[in-house]
Amino acid sequence: MSAATTPVLELRDVSKSFGPVVALRSGSLAVGAGSIHALVGENGAGKSTLVKVVAGVYRRDGGEFRLGGQPVDFASTAESKDAGVAVIYQEPTLFPDLSVTENIFMGRMPLGSGRLSGRRIDKGAMHAEATALFQRLGVHIDPRRPALGLSIADQQIIEIAKAISLDARLLIMDEPTAALSGNEVARLFAVARSLRDEGRALVFISHRFDEVFELCDTVTVMRDGSYISTDRVAETTESQIVAKMVGREVGDLFPKTVAEIGEVVLDVQNLETAGEFHGVSFQVRAGEIVGLAGLVGAGRSEIARAVFGVDAYDAGTVTLAGKPVPAHDPRGAIRAGMAFVPEDRRQQGLVIQGSVGKNIASVIRSRISKSGLITAGSEYAAARPWADRLEVKTNALDMKAATMSGGNQQKVVIAKWLATNPKLLIIDEPTRGIDVGTKAEVHRLLSELAGQGLAILMISSELPEVLGMADRVLVVREGQITADIARDDATPENVMAAATRSSEKAS
Ligand SMILES: Nc1ncnc2c1ncn2[C@@H]1O[C@H](COP(=O)(O)OP(=O)(O)OP(=O)(O)O)[C@@H](O)[C@H]1O
Ligand SMILES: [Mg+2]
């Protein structure tokens, strides 16, 4: 692409406020055809707000906005779609009860401008079209099945199929990889590259720098709602980007301090759920961080959910501080002293319409309601220290969780569970979607809590996080614990080997 070419997308000094909250102060971004442009910044920097202006979700307060050189001003998402903009959000937005095909062609069947318009559409033709799209993307998804129950990866692919069928010239992906496994990320990247090679413009938002460096050619940094810089990826470094993002020194990641390892807190024996995991036995001691490593889909989250009682299990026992924990009874588990920060925090961890303070205080209701009466004051008093601790960036605890940035929502869920003062913390992907500065803060916090005697079971797909934080690494493969490696012996090689060794032959 020559520098003289008109960018597909051009934003200059775009601003957007919500009442007193300035979400976007001065957002600028220029993306050319045939380019994959990274947009990075801390939680709450304004990335998603910028995207939503382009998508027609919000109308900007000020600044310039051009598509293909033409000034535009979208009053609705439909207008933005018609202009060739497709957005894949942090959370897919499919209709669960509709079929995959219906989701792809949603809203375009009667008055669409695509190539299906102008004639009566029979379902068979639509399914065939969907199948053809999936073939092109190299994926296998049954177009007739409902969207309900599809993995996030597949839901995103459907959103992309929809974008292609609309012939979008600009595709924006807002943290698309946050919930994907390695293979799924590779598949998504292959699709993104082929769209780039067709001459489309792509915007990619991620907190993972390795992905930015692997996939993108250009990177724009935002901070506090404002544009900071744009560089060729080949001409910059991770530490330069981080410095621009945070505008201050970031503490070391994985500031592991050695804690005294005490009594057994969690004792799991022979846990089994048919088809998911079997013969799972392990212990976590006071002050110990045990990392549960393995590939996505190996059964780590399933084991965690069974231990906490969200899911039932078929056989085995769970004991906490010497007392049996009732099966399939999360309330009982909480009473026994367990806390569980789930993987899918938005769906499982947060009352999205509730305030931040309510969310944080929700599990400690019984403790703070002295006379059976819970006042907003008592909730906020309980929530405040944890919100501050995790740097939940919100003007007030009465802000709705739904209006917080994605990363800040995650911090609220973590804060909520820490406020229960648990004996055991099970945390699934502790820093997914969390920016680099807060990541260090979460790690410091986990380390410190372990130092105070908390037992921590940490599931993480990020190997550096597991190796950096855990006293002991348990590797799960195909529903079984295949290795138990002490901190000093754990290396990326031996953990990966235990996670991936094929069952054919182990030498
Ligand atoms: N509808 C809204 N009402 C009030 N405030 C909002 C609204 N939407 C966003 N904000 C605020 O604007 C700021 C920017 O949020 P935004 O979601 O754009 O951040 P982000 O860069 O995408 O962060 P993350 O990396 O955590 O996803 C945040 O402080 C957020 O709380
Ligand atoms: Mg966001």
Q: Predicted confidence band at 39 (pLDDT cuts at 50, 70, 90)?
A: very high
Closest residue by CA, ligand 1 atom 3: 403
Lowest pLDDT segment from 16-30, 190-204, 354-368: 354-368
| Average pLDDT value for residue range 236-240 | 90
Predicted local distance difference test score (pLDDT) of residue 272: 97
Ligand sitting nearest the alpha carbon of 20: 1
Q: How far apart are CA 181 and CA 297, in angstroms?
A: 8
Give the ranges where 32-174 is alpha helix by DSSP (H).
47-55, 77-82, 100-105, 123-137, 152-165
- Tokens read off for 488: 């000093």
Backbone dihedral angles phi then psi of residue 401, each to the nearest 5 degrees: -60, -30
- Tokens read off for 435: 């920016």
Average pLDDT of every residue of the chain: 84
Backbone dihedral angles phi then psi of residue 38, each to the nearest 5 degrees: -85, 140
Q: Is the pLDDT of residue 233 over 60?
A: yes
| 326 & 414 share domain | no
Q: Is residue 4 part of a domain?
A: no
Q: Is 406 left (phi over 0), alpha (psi -120 to 50) or beta?
A: alpha
Locate the ligand 1 atom nearest the alpha carbon of residue 393 and give its number.
Answer: 29
Locate the ligand 1 atom nearest the alpha carbon of residue 51 and give its number.
Answer: 18
Lowest pLDDT segment from 52-61, 171-180, 293-302, 374-383: 374-383
Number of structural domains found in the chain: 3
Q: Is residue 1 part of a domain?
A: no
Say how many C-beta atoms besides its own lie within 10 A of residue 113's C-beta: 12
Q: Is the pLDDT of residue 366 over 60?
A: no
| 104 & 32 share domain | yes
- Tokens read off for 191: 């699709």
Domain end among 388, 421, 454: 421
Q: Is the pLDDT of residue 72 over 50?
A: yes
Locate the ligand 1 atom nearest the alpha carbon of residue 409 and give its number.
Answer: 26
Predicted local distance difference test score (pLDDT) of residue 157: 86
Cα–Cα–Cα angle for 121, 123, 129, rounded to 5 degrees: 85
Tens of pLDDT along 453-500? Answer: 999 999 988 888 888 899 999 999 989 999 999 999 998 888 888 887
Q: How far apart are CA 13 and CA 27, in angstroms?
A: 5
Q: Predicted confidence band at 365 (pLDDT cuts at 50, 70, 90)?
A: low
Closest residue by CA, ligand 1 atom 6: 403
| 373 & 490 share domain | no
Lowest pLDDT segment from 178-182, 188-192, 337-341, 346-350: 346-350
| 131 & 145 share domain | yes
Domain that holds residue 301: 250-337+422-507
Predicted local distance difference test score (pLDDT) of residue 205: 95
Residue 61's nearest CA partner among 29, 96, 26 is 26
Closest residue by CA, ligand 1 atom 8: 403
Instruction: Say if strands 472-477 and 289-294 run parallel, antiparallel, or are unpaired.
Output: parallel
* Ligand 1 pocket test, candidate residues 172, 359, 405, 441, most atoms within 8 A of CB: 405
- Tokens read off for 16: 């957007």
Residue 113 Cα, ligand 1 centroid: separation in angstroms? 33
pLDDT > 90: percent of the chain: 46
SS3 312: coil
Residue 327's identity, in one-letter code, is: A
Residue 463 Cα, ligand 2 centroid: separation in angstroms? 24
Predicted local distance difference test score (pLDDT) of residue 251: 55
Residue 442 Cα, ligand 1 centroid: separation in angstroms? 20
* Ligand 1 pocket test, candidate residues 17, 42, 47, 49, most atoms within 8 A of CB: 49
Q: Is residue 296 part of a domain?
A: yes
* Ligand 1 pocket test, candidate residues 16, 26, 48, 395, most atoms within 8 A of CB: 48
| 366 & 354 share domain | yes
Ligand sitting nearest the alpha carbon of 44: 1
Q: Is residue 291 part of a domain?
A: yes
- Are 52 and 58 in contact by the 8 Å Cβ rule? The answer is yes
Cα–Cα–Cα angle for 260, 264, 270, rounded to 5 degrees: 140
- Are 48 and 40 in contact by the 8 Å Cβ rule? The answer is no
- Tokens read off for 76: 């609705």
| Residue matched to tokens 């348990």 | 474
Helix (H) / strand (E) element for 119: namely: none
Q: How far apart are CA 178 and CA 169, in angstroms?
A: 24
Tens of pLDDT along 250-293? Answer: 555 666 777 789 999 999 999 999 999 999 999 999 999 999 99
Q: Predicted confidence band at 213 (pLDDT cuts at 50, 70, 90)?
A: very high
Predicted local distance difference test score (pLDDT) of residue 503: 44
By residue count, the chain amounts to 507
Instruction: Say if strands 323-324 and 455-459 run parallel, antiparallel, or are unpaired.
Output: unpaired
Predicted local distance difference test score (pLDDT) of residue 353: 66
Residue 191 Cα, ligand 1 centroid: separation in angstroms? 28
| 318 & 406 share domain | no
Q: Predicted confidence band at 183 (pLDDT cuts at 50, 70, 90)?
A: confident
- Tokens read off for 439: 């990541």
Locate the ligand 1 atom nearest the alpha carbon of residue 175 and give its number.
Answer: 27
Residue 380 Cα, ligand 1 centroid: separation in angstroms? 21
**Strand arrangement, sheet containing 85-88:** 70-71, 62-67, 9-18, 21-31, 226-232, 218-223, 35-40, 201-205, 170-174, 85-88
- Tokens read off for 374: 């819970």
Locate the ligand 1 atom nearest the alpha carbon of residue 399 and give its number.
Answer: 4
Backbone dihedral angles phi then psi of residue 172, each to the nearest 5 degrees: -110, 130
- Are 319 and 267 in contact by the 8 Å Cβ rule? The answer is yes
| 79 & 111 share domain | yes
Cα–Cα–Cα angle for 272, 275, 277, rounded to 5 degrees: 40
| 355 & 397 share domain | yes
Pocket of ligand 1 (CB under 6 A): 18, 21, 23, 41, 43-49, 393, 403-408, 435
Q: How far apart are CA 278 and CA 68, in angstroms?
A: 56
Domain end among 356, 387, 421: 421
Domain end among 187, 212, 246: 246
Q: Is residue 140 part of a domain?
A: yes
| 148 & 294 share domain | no
Tens of pLDDT along 298-341? Answer: 889 899 999 999 899 999 999 999 999 999 998 899 889 999 98
Q: Predicted confidence band at 44 (pLDDT cuts at 50, 70, 90)?
A: confident
Locate the ligand 1 atom nearest the alpha carbon of residue 50 and give its number.
Answer: 18
Locate the ligand 1 atom nearest the alpha carbon of residue 44 and give its number.
Answer: 19
Q: How far apart are CA 388 and CA 378, in angstroms?
A: 16
Residue 37's nearest CA partner among 192, 244, 228, 256 is 192
Q: Is residue 3 part of a domain?
A: no
| Residue matched to tokens 């991770």 | 238
Closest residue by CA, ligand 1 atom 22: 48
Q: Return the CATH number at 15.
A: 3.40.50.300
Q: Is the pLDDT of residue 112 over 50?
A: no
Helix (H) / strand (E) element for 303: namely: helix 300-308
| 358 & 453 share domain | no
Residues whose beta carbons lie less than 5 angstroms from ion ligand 2: 48, 406
Ligand sitting nearest the alpha carbon of 400: 1
| Residue matched to tokens 């489309």 | 200
| 294 & 406 share domain | no
Residues 6+ apart with CB under 8 A from 245: 40, 41, 42, 45, 221, 222, 223, 228, 435, 436, 437
Q: Is 429 left (phi over 0), alpha (psi -120 to 50) or beta?
A: left
Q: Is residue 312 part of a domain?
A: yes
SS3 283: strand
Residue 124 Cα, ligand 2 centroid: separation in angstroms? 37
| 149 & 220 share domain | yes
Q: Is residue 476 part of a domain?
A: yes
Residue 315's identity, in one-letter code, is: A
Question: Is 398 exposed, middle or buried (CB count within 10 Å of its CB: 0-12, 13-18, 19+)?
Answer: middle
- Are 66 and 30 in contact by the 8 Å Cβ rule? The answer is no
